[in-house]
Amino acid sequence: NQSTGGAGLQRKKFVAPEGELTVSDVCARIKVHPQTLSNWRKSNIGPPWFRRRLRFFYNLSELDHWYENGEPA
């Protein structure tokens, strides 16, 4: 029996409920670095977000509105 020392273990990708986006989803969609999104949250700028437990989420329609208009829906 050979130990892999953690190699080969994969974390499951978290999938947000329909209509909600994770930080990774948003970064891919609007092409920004996760740290940029974090900075925006801390500075109260950027797309509207909400927190559930220890994760940050973005509503898809609110993100699209913010992206197209530069302001919250």
Q: Residue 61 phi/psi, 5° resolution?
A: -65, -35
Q: What is the pTM of this model?
A: 0.75
- Of 53, 47, 59, 56, nearest to 19 (Cα)? 59
Digit-coded pLDDT (tens) for 10-67: 666 667 778 999 999 999 999 999 999 999 999 999 999 999 989 999 999 999 999 9
